[in-house]
A and B are shown apart, each in its own frame.
Chain A
């Protein structure tokens, strides 16, 4: 075990010890019909990246070599952005369990499914990158920094409320991730890329809905301080994570954008599963407006941001 992983593990250990788990009474009855329904839908939505994508129909040779090279980089980056979902959702599941045995079973059941769904997305991105010429396992340093966020630690931090975690990770990041995925789908012409994005988007739609349904159940019970914490967590996620290029290459530091930006442009032009910068900017702006409106229902303000790349949004 490396020194870093030892320290991280001790960090989890310290976080876990700060909770006093009350496992019993252990209740399974439905508290949130919407979240339970999302769990039911997850059980019914069975797909397998190996067999439910028409890999044999994908003809990589139909694309010039530079296009394949660009697209494999884009789908590798998508894998790097998907991977955190395995850990952060597992941590959130554990958090719900540590909070109470008596409450939250709908969320726990839903979250027991989610890491495997993220793993399927990861596998699909990996397989497509491989079909395009090979998955790239190591991002450039700035991209690695932007895409390596400690969300699992945040989910297990007793000083951050469950509502704040769900609003930041689910309300903002999952919603943006879904909207970007739908944009890529809309811009794609390649049948395989479309198939993958369609399957992933169907899962992501549930993931974003889960966050909003959970918040709708819990936010009304929060006092002003609790709502302020939620607002702070979402702002933090926006300013320190999203706007520094967690999901969008054009938001990375200027010197770190290439070759990703060029790869995304070429991939978008050939319909292999990406959007242009202009299209992504429109998605980010629309998402911020959407998230701001929803949070406003609970008196949580998400201030307008003024960003050199994004403008006022």
Chain B
């Protein structure tokens, strides 16, 4: 073991120190579900949909799988950082459960694509992989020059928050019972993930330095401009259309109109500006000023 460095591990405090976050850990333990058994797959009936809609839904749920995979391959790095920075035990306990839940979401999204007719293991056009492949959180988590507060704000309060805003705004359109149940179950978990991020940042806010605030502003801005507007969640948002094929770009709309998950451009035109307005207001008390964003389809938001 000699080539490695020893952590400063002790004292190893385990008593809850952030009651709200501890409660999220306790709650998460009581709400397990299994993608294989807790979704009414027998009600999916892919044979009842025209081929175009099934293809769109397969593309949509495949891309969702790639996005969820980021929470298995990237954001768990945050737990390593919590451990070596000796962050409060509540954070460490909760984050183990978050990784577990994200693994479940990835499996469930993959199963949905599979049962709709087949999961796609990669984008149709290889360069699109850079838009949908990574949100860069692992790199940020391992970068001592990126503050934990900035990562929380960009990952949890931006990337996950918009995902959930889109789910909340469109879950009622998912007329297919299996799709709807899956969206509800993912939503139930993600609400806790987002609460975790906001609770931590609210608790830390009184100790933010001007540098921390700048770090948050930079990280959130990058997440919106370079990840969200690059099509990570929805390829229709990719500035200049990105490199995705027309079929991929249109998949969310077609799937959504079929009641199989996804959003329409009209939904996005409403959801994204509201989301940015909401987090701008929510972060303002911390002294965080998010810039106005220019987007060719959304306008100035």
Which residues 1-53 in A have Cβ within 8 Å of B in the complex? 1-2, 4-13, 16, 21, 23-28, 40, 43-44, 46, 48, 50-51
Within 8 Å CB of B30, what residues of A? 48, 51
Within 8 Å CB of B133, what residues of A? 23-24
Within 8 Å CB of B6, what residues of A? 145, 148, 150
**Closest partner residue, chain B, to A13 (CB atom):** B142
A236 and B1 within 8 A (CB): yes
Is residue B284 within 8 Å, beta carbon to beta carbon, of the partner chain? no
B36 and A40 within 8 A (CB): yes
Within 8 Å CB of A135, what residues of B? 14-15
* Listed stretches B40-48, B82-90, B253-261; interface member: B82-90
Within 8 Å CB of A139, what residues of B? 10
Is residue B270 within 8 Å, beta carbon to beta carbon, of the partner chain? no
B65 and A46 within 8 A (CB): no
A24 and B129 within 8 A (CB): yes
B5 and A1 within 8 A (CB): no
Interface residues on B, range: 35 or more
Within 8 Å CB of A8, what residues of B? 5, 7, 84
**Closest partner residue, chain B, to A10 (CB atom):** B144
CA distance A51 to B106 in the complex (A): 28
**Closest partner residue, chain A, to B85 (CB atom):** A5
* Listed stretches B118-126, B162-170, B174-182, B238-246; interface member: B118-126
Chain B 105-123, CB-CB to A under 8 Å as 1, else 0, gives 0110010001000010111
Tell which of B77, B86, B107, B114 touches A5, judged by Cβ atoms closer than 8 Å.
B86
CA distance A93 to B76 in the complex (A): 8
Within 8 Å CB of B36, what residues of A? 40, 43
* Listed stretches A115-123, A196-204, A275-283, A302-310; interface member: A115-123
B244 to chain A, nearest CB (A): 14
Interface residues on A, range: 35 or more
A93 and B72 within 8 A (CB): yes
Is residue B12 within 8 Å, beta carbon to beta carbon, of the partner chain? yes
Cβ-Cβ contact count across A and B, 8 Å cutoff: 189
B4 and A108 within 8 A (CB): no
A40 to chain B, nearest CB (A): 7
Within 8 Å CB of A44, what residues of B? 34
CA distance A119 to B79 in the complex (A): 12
A87 and B80 within 8 A (CB): yes
Is residue A182 within 8 Å, beta carbon to beta carbon, of the partner chain? no
Within 8 Å CB of A122, what residues of B? 14, 93
A9 and B144 within 8 A (CB): yes
A residues apposed to B, CB below 8 Å: 1-2, 4-13, 16, 21, 23-28, 40, 43-44, 46, 48, 50-51, 79-80, 83, 86-87, 90-91, 93-94, 97-98, 101-102, 108-109, 112-113, 115-116, 118-120, 122-123, 126, 135, 137-139, 144-145, 148-150, 152-154, 157, 236, 240-241
Would you list the 5 A-B pairs with minimal beta carbon distance, nearest first? A112-B103, A97-B73, A150-B4, A25-B121, A24-B122
Return 11 A-B CB contacts under 8 Å, by A number: A5-B86, A8-B5, A23-B73, A24-B129, A108-B72, A109-B103, A116-B100, A119-B93, A137-B14, A138-B10, A148-B9
Q: 12 extra interchain contacts, Cβ-Cβ under 8 A, other than A90-B77, A138-B11, A157-B4? A: A4-B8, A5-B84, A9-B144, A13-B144, A27-B121, A50-B26, A90-B79, A122-B14, A137-B14, A150-B4, A236-B1, A240-B2
